[in-house]
Structures are given as structure tokens and as C-alpha cells.
């Protein structure tokens, strides 16, 4: 599975959009981009995933560049409860394993 690079930390003002970048320059055509977050002392929570098209759900939007070498997770209106560690994960489509390889993630601090 491709490796990902994320900034270690970011701040965001409450109510503003939080844009979390992820670099996955070695991604291959059969790999998805997944985002999870982990609020302190809880298990990781699935946010969104995508292959090459932009995706949106009730939690966030995922923007994947045309060359697929990077992506951005967007929380449109960040709240204090969005303070968490955000993990960008690249995973193969094929195969029969659900293994997730977590990096160090980005610690997002939402400030009032």
C-alpha cells in the first residue's frame, strides 16, 4: 500500500472550513484514499473515501487531484468537536484484506 504524508498539526477557527492535505505521490491505479479520525481516547471513526472523483457526505468532502498524487479533506464548518487526529490512508481495491496502515496523521485543533 502507498505511503502518505500529512502535516503533523493544523489549527482552524471554529465555524471556518478546515482543509487537511495529504500527499500520496506513489499511489497506484487500484488504490483508494480513505480518511479516518480519532478523537482523544476513542476508536478511529471512518469519514470518507474515494478513488478518483471528488466525494461528499454529511461529514466532509474529499478532493482528489487529477493525477491522484494528493488529496484534501474538507470539513466545511469546523466545530470544537472536530478536534481530533485525522488519518489519510491509501488502500488497495483488490485483494481480500481490510488491513489499514495508519501513519502519524494530522492533529487538528479547532479553536473558538
Partner 1 sequence: KAGVTQTPRYLIKTRGQQVTLSCSPISGHRSVSWYQQTPGQGLQFLFEYFSETQRNKGNFPGRFSGRQFSNSRSEMNVSTLELGDSALYLCASRSGGGEMVNTEAFFGQGTRLTVV
Query: Of the ranges 18-26, 36-44, 61-69, 75-83, which one interacts with partner 1 (CB under 8 A)?
Result: 36-44
Please classify residue 59 by burial: count the beta carbons closer than 10 Å to its beta carbon, then call 0-12 exposed, 13-18 middle and 19+ buried.
Answer: middle
Q: Should residue 100 be labelled a site residue for partner 1 when binding is judged by CB under 8 A?
A: yes
Q: Should residue 57 be labelled a site residue for partner 1 when binding is judged by CB under 8 A?
A: no
Q: Should residue 46 be labelled a site residue for partner 1 when binding is judged by CB under 8 A?
A: yes
Coil, helix or strand for 64?
Answer: strand
* CA distance linking residue 36 with residue 84, whole number of Å: 10
Q: Shortest gap between Cβ of 40 and partner 1 (angstroms)? A: 11
91 in Cβ contact with 100 (< 8 Å): yes
Residue 80 backbone dihedrals phi, psi, to 5 degrees: -60, -30
Q: Should residue 8 be labelled a site residue for partner 1 when binding is judged by CB under 8 A?
A: no
Nearer of residues 98 and 112 to partner 1, judged by Cβ: 98
Query: Of the ranges 12-20, 66-74, 76-84, 86-94, which one interacts with partner 1 (CB under 8 A)?
Result: 86-94
DSSP H/E element including 88: strand 84-92
Nearer of residues 14 and 107 to partner 1, judged by Cβ: 107
Q: Shortest gap between Cβ of 89 and partner 1 (angstroms)? A: 10
Amino acid at each position: 500500500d502507498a505511503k502518505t504524508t500529512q502535516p503533523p498539526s493544523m489549527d482552524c477557527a471554529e465555524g471556518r472550513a478546515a482543509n487537511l492535505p495529504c500527499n500520496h505521490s506513489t499511489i497506484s491505479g487500484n488504490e483508494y484514499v480513505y480518511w479516518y479520525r480519532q478523537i482523544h481516547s476513542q476508536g478511529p471513526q471512518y469519514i470518507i473515501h474515494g478513488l478518483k472523483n471528488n466525494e461528499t457526505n454529511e461529514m466532509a468532502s474529499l478532493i482528489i487531484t487529477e493525477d491522484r498524487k494528493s488529496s484534501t479533506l474538507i470539513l466545511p464548518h469546523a466545530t470544537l468537536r472536530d478536534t481530533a487526529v485525522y488519518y489519510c490512508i491509501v488502500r488497495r481495491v483488490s485483494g481480500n484484506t481490510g488491513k489499514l496502515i495508519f501513519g502519524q496523521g494530522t492533529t487538528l485543533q479547532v479553536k473558538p
